[in-house]
Amino acid sequence: MGSIELEPWIEKLIPPNLVDHFKTLRKEQLTMQKRLIIKDHPSLSKISLVAGCDVSYFSNGDACAGIAVLETPSLTLLEYVFHIYTPKIDYVPTFLAYREAPGLVVAYKKLHNKPDLILVDGNGILHPHKLGIASYLGITLNKPSIGVAKRLLIGTFDEHRLAINKTTSIMYKNLEIGTAMLTHQNYNPIYISPGNHLSIQTATSLIPRYTRQRLPEPIRLADKLTRDTVND
């Protein structure tokens, strides 16, 4: 792999003394991208435990990475674990995995009940280099994973079609990379993409099973529980 360059708009957000470090992280992303498997894993035929991952922050900058494991189809909370740590980098778009995934990996190792599927507050392949935090975690943990984002990082979609059908494809550089979905008429859409070991179609079809409000219950509970932990 030759020299790595960062997108100019991203490089402007990084202190000059850290640009080379982020170029190294980008090179790692491109290497990991080759390990992506965007097709359905056989284990998806029987999903009994689904995890949601989210990270909340203390006022001093430390982070609480939490994972909530729910039973299906009841969506009953079975287990919640968390790990408090100091992120190694500040937030920079397209590098969220390097800020939050290390804490989530440590939290995952604490689980007594390992999930069949992991839902992550963030993106999967809906990322300029197809390696958002859901893909990073899916590869690192070798688990099927789905990214569910609250804001659209890249790509475009047909808002009229979304309003009518409640789902529509997100396109980027003439390729389908995810799905915009309206989970409730009073909420803004969410943006779904496979992380690893799933197709776009399966990732899209699974999310409604686990959703009662705007966000899937595993992510919503992980968000609530990490916020509660931070605010204790």
Give the tens place of pLDDT for each residue, 9-38.
999 999 999 999 999 999 999 999 999 999
pLDDT at position 114 over 90: yes
> Which residue ranges form the domains of the chain, and what is each CATH number?
38-231 (3.30.2170.10)
Mean pLDDT across the chain: 95
DSSP H or E run through 88? none
Confidence of residue 106 (pLDDT cuts 50, 70, 90): very high
| Distance from C-alpha of 163 to C-alpha of 132, rounded to nearest angstrom | 26
User: At 105, is the secondary structure helix, strand, or coil?
Assistant: helix
Question: How high is the pLDDT of residue 163?
Answer: 93
Residue 157 has pLDDT above 60, yes or no: yes
pLDDT in the model for residue 28: 94
**For the chain, percent of residues with pLDDT exceeding 90:** 94
Helix (H) or strand (E) holding 20: helix 19-33
The pairing of strands 117-121 and 49-57 is parallel
Q: How far is CA 65 from the centre of its chain?
A: 13
User: Contacts from 67-73 at CB under 8 Å and sequence distance 24+?
Assistant: 67/104, 67/107, 67/108, 67/111, 67/222, 68/218, 68/221, 68/222, 68/225, 69/111, 69/113, 69/115, 69/218, 70/210, 70/217, 70/218, 70/221, 72/47, 72/48, 72/209, 72/210, 73/209
Q: Which pLDDT belongs to residue 224?
A: 97
Confidence of residue 226 (pLDDT cuts 50, 70, 90): very high
In this prediction, residues 61-69 reach a mean pLDDT of 97
